Structure 1
Amino acid sequence: MPADEPQTTEVQPPRPFTLAGVSMRELLSSCAAAEAVSTPPRLPDPAIRRRPAEHPRAA
């Protein structure tokens, strides 16, 4: 490279990561939504037990 030409390096602003037109934010929110609708509800905590219903013939 000739010495009389100044070196110019263009610094481009960082772009959000995209793959096939989908941003990482969209991908993560899509995964979170899919997990929320596909995960079954949790069972109640066994440490918190309700008082058992009394047997009808106990009286």
Structure 2
Amino acid sequence: MPTSERDEAPRAVPGVPTGVSMRDLLASCAAADLISRPPREPEPTVAPHRPERRQAA
């Protein structure tokens, strides 16, 4: 007696771990993304503008 696709048990996909929460999966993807990027260049620093003092003559 043939079974319909609805009646079949879901099959595990090979190579995909089961029991991993979405939170853990997203956290691992975010960590991998940060690690795979090169370090950022430092922000250019601008010295604060200080008006020169005039000396009395």
Class of the TM-score when normalised by the shorter of the 2 chains: 0.3 to 0.5
Structure number with higher helix proportion: 1
Which structure shows the bigger proportion of residues in strand conformation?
A: 1
Give me the TM-score of the superposition, normalised by structure 1.
0.40
TM-score computed with the length of structure 2 as normaliser: 0.41
